[in-house]
Amino acid sequence: MREPGKLVDISRGLFGAPVFPGDPVPEKQPVSQIAQGASYNLTRVSLGSHGGTHMDAPCHFLPQGASIDQVELFRCVGPCQVVRASGRLGVPWVKSLGELAGKRLLVQGEVELSLEAAEELARQGLYLLGVEGMTVGPLSDPGPVHRALLGAQVALLESCDLSGVEPGRYFLAAQPLKWEGLDGAPVRAVLLQEEEEKEESL
């Protein structure tokens, strides 16, 4: 009999996550509070479209690119591979990965993807790339790497928290909020680690 798998939240808290330099810092302000005599709690939230764990839409870097509500959801949900890496990642690293589970890749560690590596992942038909950093490319010039991936419709999941995850195969659910016409949106991303099926003794 198959038991439920373990669900792992790989999202960062929206108000505690690092913010890309120059981006708006998320803020919250009470509008209605039970503690102040109101009958309900209500909060006003202000944030950029790339706060916390989030997904980039193609229009983030491509003038005619799709908005976040147009990202194909099959790219965001399905089997995925978690791998560990560090430093600058090039084409040899991409080729060393072999066949990826579900064409979805999450990279654990502080990494910087080279343009050539991004182009190779795009060529291989990757559905989704997730990283723990605030951007998949170099902080000094993230545009070329983003354009190579977003131009190939690769869903980009940034600012993940993979600290409690072991490398391996999982099932990923990382749907962005349906923010019509926008260049990105927050994501509550989770991994499901399925238990191995146990054989019942006779």
Residues taking part in catalysis: 60
Q: Which of 1, 11, 8 is nearest to 176 (CA)?
A: 11
What are the backbone dihedrals phi and psi of residue 23, each rounded to the nearest 5 degrees, phi first?
A: -75, 155
CA-CA distance, 198 to 195, in Å (whole number)?
8
Please identify which residue in the block is written with the tokens 């080279």: 114
Q: How far is CA 177 from CA 16, 126, 127, in A?
A: 19, 21, 18
Q: Whose structure tokens read 């147009």?
A: 70
Phi and psi dihedrals of 49, rounded to 5? -75, 0
Answer for the pair 111, 90: CB distance below 8 angstroms, yes or no: no
Which run of H or E residues covers position 144? helix 143-150
